Structure 1
C-alpha cells in the first residue's frame, strides 16, 4: 500500500507528531527496542494511521534524520549574519555552544539519538551540514579577505569543520568525559585557530 503525502495541514501535523514520537521512543528504547506500536502510542494515533504515512519504522527514522539535519541547517542560517562579523575565537565558541544547546534541548533528545546515528542513517545527510558550514566559511573569508590567502584553503576548511562539530557531538555523547565542555571548547578553538594561522604563515602572510 502506498503511503500518503502530507499535503493538508492536518496531515502534516500528524506526520510531525509521529516524527516527534519517534525521537521520544528512540530516546527511551533505542532503535532496536523501538516498534511502530511504541511510536504510534506516543503519537496518540493508531498503528493503522501511522502506516498511512510511513511503511515501517525505518522510514520514520529517515524522517527523523532529515528533521535533525534541517534543525542544524536552520541554526547555521540564523547564525550566519552574526558569524561573519566575528573574530575567529568567538566565532568558533558561538558555533560550539549553539550546537550544544540544539543537541541538549528537549531532554537531550537529539543527543541521545546521535548515539544511534548509524542505525538512524544520519550519515546520508551529514554532507548537507558540511556543505552549509563550508558556505558560511567562504562568506566569512570574503568578509575577512586575509583568510582567503590561507594555504590549502579547501583542506583547512574541511579540517576546521570536521574537527569542530563532530568533536562537540562526541564530547557530549561520552558518559564521563575527562575534561569539561568549556575546556574542550577553549582547547578546540585554540587548536583550530593555531592551525589556520600556521597555514597563513606558510602562505607568507
Structure 2
C-alpha cells in the first residue's frame, strides 16, 4: 500500500476499492480487473486509487489478505471447539465452514480462488499453513497419541499442504467424478489415521457447526 489511510473517510474508500476489486475479479475475471475498472466500480477516480495502491497487483494482494483473514477466523472458531469433538470432526467441520465462506456473497471468493495460481498467494497459503499447524499441535497436546507417531512433523506437513492445495485445486477445477463430501471425508479420515484416533460417531441429532 502506498500510504496508510488514517481518517474514516479514507479507510472507507480503501475498503470500497478492495471490495470493488474482489467483485470485478469474481464477475469479470482477472484480466478485466484493471485499475480504471476497479476505480469506476468503487465510484472514485483512478488518481484516488493510486494514492493508496501503487499498482493493481497491490489491490489484488489486499483482496487475498481479506480472504485470508476470514479463513483464519474460521480456523480460529473451530480451534475453540477442537478438544471435545476430536480431529476427524474438527477437520470435517472446518472444511465445511471453509466452503460455506467461499460460497458467501454469491460465491465471490469461490470465483476469486479460481485465479489462485495467477495471484501472489504464497503469503496467504503460508499463513493458513501456520494456523492449521497450530490447530494440530493443540490437538496433540490435549490428546497425546497412545503410541509414538513416526515422522510426525513430516506427516503433519504433508497432510496440511495436501488439504490446502487439493482444496484450491478442487475449487479451481472440480473433478467431475469426485464430490466435495468425498474430498472432505477423505481428509478427515486421513487426519484421524495420522493421530490414531478411533472415531466415535457424533451424538444423535448433532451435526456440524455450520
TM-score by length of 2: 0.85
The answer to whether the aligner puts 1:79 opposite 2:61 as a matched pair is no
Alpha-carbon separation, structure 2, partners of 1:175 and 1:144 = 35
Give SS of 1:127's match: helix
| Structure 1 residue aligned with 2:67 | 68
| Structure 1 residue aligned with 2:164 | 165
Give SS of 1:177's match: coil
The answer to whether the aligner puts 1:104 opposite 2:98 as a matched pair is no
| Structure 1 residue aligned with 2:53 | 54
Could you tell me how far 1:136 is from its partner in structure 2? 1.2
The range that moved more, 177-186 or 43-52, is: 177-186
Aligned residues: 197
Aligned positions of 1:79-158 closer than 5 A: 79-146=78-145, 149-158=148-157
Alpha-carbon separation, structure 1, partners of 2:48 and 2:119 = 22
Q: Is residue 156–residue 196 contact of structure 1 (8 Å, CA) maintained in 2?
A: no
| Structure 1 residue aligned with 2:203 | none
Q: Gaps spanning 5+ residues in structure 2: where? A: 198-210
Q: Is residue 19–residue 63 contact of structure 1 (8 Å, CA) maintained in 2?
A: yes
Could you tell me how far 1:197 is from its partner in structure 2? 3.2
Q: Is residue 100–residue 169 contact of structure 1 (8 Å, CA) maintained in 2?
A: no
Aligned positions of 1:179-190 closer than 5 A: 179-190=178-189
Q: Gaps spanning 5+ residues in structure 1: where? A: 199-205
Could you tell me how far 1:157 is from its partner in structure 2? 1.2
Q: Is residue 145–residue 195 contact of structure 2 (8 Å, CA) maintained in 1?
A: no
The range that moved more, 4-13 or 184-193, is: 184-193
| Structure 1 residue aligned with 2:177 | 178
Could you tell me how far 1:148 is from its partner in structure 2? 8.2
Could you tell me how far 1:97 is from its partner in structure 2? 0.2
Q: Is residue 87–residue 139 contact of structure 2 (8 Å, CA) maintained in 1?
A: no
Deviations 1:69-104 (A, max 9, x none): 111112212221112332222111111101111111
| Structure 1 residue aligned with 2:204 | none
The Cα RMSD (Å) is 2.1
Could you tell me how far 1:17 is from its partner in structure 2? 0.9
Could you tell me how far 1:14 is from its partner in structure 2? 0.9
Deviations 1:8-50 (A, max 9, x none): 2221111111001101111122222221111111111121211
Alpha-carbon separation, structure 2, partners of 1:196 and 1:60 = 40
Alpha-carbon separation, structure 1, partners of 2:125 and 2:147 = 25
